[in-house]
Amino acid sequence: MSHIKITIKASVGRASRGCAGFSVCSITIGVDPSETLEYDNEAGLMVLTLSKAVIQKEQPDKLPYFEGQDIVTFEEAFTLPKDVQAALKSDRPLTIQKGTCPLVIQGDSYIINDIHVV
């Protein structure tokens, strides 16, 4: 199995800085289908889809990282929690790497593509 998609709950920011800046601050298994994480284990890439409405409600200070942008830059690496790794059918730790990724704004979603994972 090379491609898996799960429903998540994510918050944006650098975990090392109390969620300031931009990266992934937290990811948990979620129930809102508007927020997902897709993993292609053959390519070592992820796609993170976040809800505009959730960002506007819960983290409005993060909107400038998305609105009018076509890229985002993860300022620090983030290792996924074990339950999220298990849901993605990975038997090894998965770490989202620092770096720049393409951003697509589609409807009520912010879609971050080509996230490198090791």
Q: What is the pLDDT of residues 91-110, one digit of tens each?
A: 899 999 999 999 999 999 99
pLDDT of residue 102: 98
Q: Would you say 48 and 79 are in contact if contact means Cβ atoms under 8 Å apart?
A: no
pLDDT of residue 50: 97
Average pLDDT of 57-63? 97
Q: Would you say 35 and 84 are in contact if contact means Cβ atoms under 8 Å apart?
A: no
For residue 88, count other CB atoms closer than 10 A to its CB: 20
Checking if the pLDDT of 1 tops 80, the result is no
- Model confidence, pTM: 0.95
Stretch (H or E) spanning 18: none
What six digits make up the tokens of 93? Answer: 């730790």
Please state whether 28 falls in left (phi above 0), alpha (psi between -120 and 50) or beta: beta
How confident is the model over 2-45, as pLDDT tens digits?
Answer: 899 999 999 999 999 999 999 999 999 999 899 999 999 999 99
Checking if the pLDDT of 78 tops 90, the result is yes
Question: Where are the chain's structural domains?
Answer: 3-116
Distance CA(35)–CA(61), nearest Å, equals 19
pLDDT of residue 61: 96
pLDDT of residue 2: 80
Question: For 72, phi and psi rounded to 5 degrees?
Answer: -130, 155
